[in-house]
Amino acid sequence: MGFEEYNGAMFGPNWKASERKHGYVIDRDVKIPMPDGTLLSADIWRPQTDESCPAILSFHCYHQSGQTAPMKPAPHSGVNLLGSASERTNGSLEAGDPTFFARRGYTHVVCNARGTGKSEGEWHFSGTQEQRDVVEVIEWIAAQSWCNGEVGMFGISYLAWTQLFVAPLNPPHLKTIFCPWGTTDIYRDLVYRGGMFAYKWPIGWSRTSLTYSNCRPFNYSKAKMGEEAYKAAIAQLLLDEDIKAVPELVAILKDPESGMNPFIVDLALHSLYDEYWQERTVDYSKIRIPAYIGGDWAAYGIHLAAAFRSWENLDVPKKMVVGPPIYLDRPLGQLQHEAVRWFDHWMKGIDTGIMAESPVRAFVMNTDQWKHGSDWPFPETKFTPFYLHENAMLSEHEHWPYEGSDSFEDSPWMRTSITYASPSLVEETEVVGPISLKIYAATTDTDINWIVSLLEIDQSGNERILTKGWLKGSHRELDMEKSSPWEPVHKHSHPVPLTAGEIYQFDIKLVPTGNLFRAGSKIGLKISCADAQPKTPLERIGAGTLTRTAVSRITVFRNEEYPSYLLLPITKGNILGTYFSGGARV
């Protein structure tokens, strides 16, 4: 191939991909009919060709023209969770560049969900109505003269989790999904992490992203309960001391049917994992098509956990990529060459070589390099317990006789915490994979909001949050069929209050991470009951938890009888382990 023949294709010694060879035409505000007569609005980019082509669907609830406007990619500006609607961010621009796909022989359909943009009806937040609508759109696309019957889906975040919710319905013409940066269990991944209401996210998302989409939310709870029971349930929420301490939530609950408030009220009324959330959880057992999944290390509060859940449960051809702790550019600027290779393989029958490459690729922080493997967790993973010791020490050494406990206080006036740290590392130690904390504790209250953070502490004592875990103490019941030592899964269906002064075992899942702890640094574990002040937009998304107003004193036990420990996935180093003596070199 000469240079003049390159024509916009990515290629390598053993693979190729569709070339940029088509012009394109755009059809705006195309109406797609649903069975009940509702019309959805879509913008469509088609290659200029007489041949029918495969199609790609991006389905979203956001500002339609903004999704595909010809803007230069910029850093994700995050979400000001306490901001006003005037403080617009670019976070919702997630459909990709349709001209890129059209030039390479794919029609790209970018469609607004029911109840958003120019689409008619009311918005059903990722529920069964929206899922059925996506199936109808896929089958409508396949029936058009410009489509050859092959349909895939593309997009991240909302556009990714929509793909994963629709795939189990098995639309006849849906051939594959490209859905990294998704969410597959909205209760556990996003809204009620560990059973605790992350209320700031839906408020901020509504104000900064959905306001501009002309979003008209369906009132799920009112329709399900009836008006009288709906009002009674809201009145009960308004008696909750923790909610009463948040003026924003109180204002929304007192005006539940204005603007985006029905959406937020729905979330508040469904604090347990019930039918509302079951509709918004992926049923992997029914997925039959190939899937491309992934996330990034900083998205532990929204997308990251879903990537690994998908890897574990998808029994289909799949690939996973986990990137550095930086959100993708907005409008979405990355992954499109990779997506074309994926779609070429599964919808055009082109051997692009993509399936011959490592199925799992994970960026390792502090190395600026990628780790490749055949499975997740990586086959070389050595799960190693680091015990909580006296003098705030974290070590692989088991407890000595008569070690004791540590206490801290939590109240609206004093949010304290405990931090344990390893000795300074002598060996560079790579930690990549799932993490869990087994902790034995008691409280003077009837509940605990556990918020735990894995820290990297450098030689100057500076701390960096790598990932977090959450658990409401009353939600401690495990789903034993789904749990493993490194990944506890909780039912969140029948909370049982704690008895003051009684010691309980709590198994807390931390979202996986991938980091090289350099020699001289320390591994840290912070245990608290409230979020620290976030430093970055993605830390902010992983915060915003409703705090308790009760005053409590919490005691963490760490001794032979109650051996609290952090289970870490070691993938390199730690051959001799940490040195309890401090490991000073001579």
pLDDT score for 91: 73
Q: SS in 3 state form for 244-289?
A: HCCHHHHHHHHCCCCCCHHHHHHHHHCCCCCHHHHCCECCHHHCCC
- Min mean pLDDT across 181-195, 261-275, 365-379, 529-543 is at 529-543
Give the up-direction half-sphere exposure of residue 312: CA atoms within 13 A in the CB hemisphere: 14
User: How many whole angstroms separate alpha carbon 548 and alpha carbon 197?
Assistant: 11
Q: Percent of the chain at pLDDT above 90?
A: 86
pLDDT tens digits, one per residue of 488-545:
999 999 999 999 999 999 999 999 999 999 999 999 999 999 998 888 877 888 899 9
Residue 83 predicted with pLDDT over 60: no
Residue 293 identity (one-letter amino acid): I
| 209, 485 contact by CB (below 8 A) | no
CATH tag for 382-572 (out of 2.60.120.260, 3.40.30.10, 2.60.40.10, 3.40.50.2300): 2.60.120.260
- What backbone phi and psi angles, to 5 degrees, belong to 102? -60, -40
pLDDT score for 538: 78
| 297, 363 contact by CB (below 8 A) | yes
Residue 126 identity (one-letter amino acid): S
User: How many whole angstroms separate alpha carbon 261 and alpha carbon 397?
Assistant: 51
Break the chain into its structural domains and give their ranges. 3-77+90-181+328-357, 198-270, 382-572
DSSP letter for 377, please. Answer: S
Q: Is 56 helix (H, G, I), strand (E, B) or coil?
A: strand
pLDDT-derived band of residue 81, with 50, 70 and 90 as boundaries?
very low
pLDDT-derived band of residue 1, with 50, 70 and 90 as boundaries?
very low
Give every CB contact of residue 275 below 8 A, 6+ residues apart in sequence. Answer: none
Query: Residues 99-115: what's their mean pLDDT?
Result: 97
- CA–CA distance from 155 to each of 66, 330, 549 (Å)? 14, 12, 40
Residue 386's Cα: distance from chain center in Å? 27
Give every CB contact of residue 243 below 8 A, 6+ residues apart in sequence. Answer: 237, 249, 250, 253, 268, 546
pLDDT tens digits, one per residue of 398-441:
999 999 999 999 999 999 999 999 999 999 999 999 999 999 99
User: How many whole angstroms separate alpha carbon 395 and alpha carbon 574?
Assistant: 12
Query: Residues 546-556: what's their mean pLDDT?
Result: 97
Residue 82 predicted with pLDDT over 50: no
Averaged pLDDT score across all residues of the chain: 93
pLDDT score for 90: 74
CA triple 571-572-573, angle to 5 deg: 135
Burial tier of 443 (Cβ tally within 10 Å: 0-12, 13-18, 19+):
buried
Its CATH architecture, for the domain 3-77+90-181+328-357, is 3-Layer(aba) Sandwich (3.40)
User: How many whole angstroms separate alpha carbon 319 and alpha carbon 176?
Assistant: 12
Q: Is 155 left (phi over 0), alpha (psi -120 to 50) or beta?
A: left
Residue 109 predicted with pLDDT over 90: yes
pLDDT score for 583: 72
* Closest to 277 measured CA to CA, from 174, 193, 177: 193
Q: Is 173 helix (H, G, I), strand (E, B) or coil?
A: coil
Residue 402 identity (one-letter amino acid): Y
DSSP letter for 580, please. Answer: T
pLDDT score for 80: 44
Residue 7 predicted with pLDDT over 90: no
Residue 494 identity (one-letter amino acid): H
Give the up-direction half-sphere exposure of residue 533: CA atoms within 13 A in the CB hemisphere: 0
3-77+90-181+328-357 with 382-572: one CATH topology?
no
pLDDT-derived band of residue 68, with 50, 70 and 90 as boundaries?
confident
User: How many whole angstroms separate alpha carbon 310 and alpha carbon 296?
Assistant: 14
User: How many whole angstroms separate alpha carbon 457 and alpha carbon 460?
Assistant: 8
Residue 340 identity (one-letter amino acid): V
Residue that wins the pLDDT comparison between 265 and 582: 265
Give the start-end residues of each E strand in 336-443.
360-364, 369-373, 382-389, 393-395, 405-411, 414-415, 418-421, 429-443
Residue 389 predicted with pLDDT over 60: yes
User: How many whole angstroms separate alpha carbon 152 and alpha carbon 176?
Assistant: 5
Q: Is 572 helix (H, G, I), strand (E, B) or coil?
A: strand
Give the up-direction half-sphere exposure of residue 508: CA atoms within 13 A in the CB hemisphere: 35
Give every CB contact of residue 511 below 8 A, 6+ residues apart in sequence. Answer: 300, 301, 304, 305, 435, 467, 468, 469
* Closest to 436 measured CA to CA, from 569, 526, 567, 297: 567
pLDDT-derived band of residue 355, with 50, 70 and 90 as boundaries?
very high
Paired strand residues for 562: none
- Min mean pLDDT across 95-99, 153-157, 329-333, 485-489 is at 329-333
H or E segment at 548? none
pLDDT score for 8: 61
| 341, 352 contact by CB (below 8 A) | yes
pLDDT score for 417: 97
CA triple 99-182-188, angle to 5 deg: 160
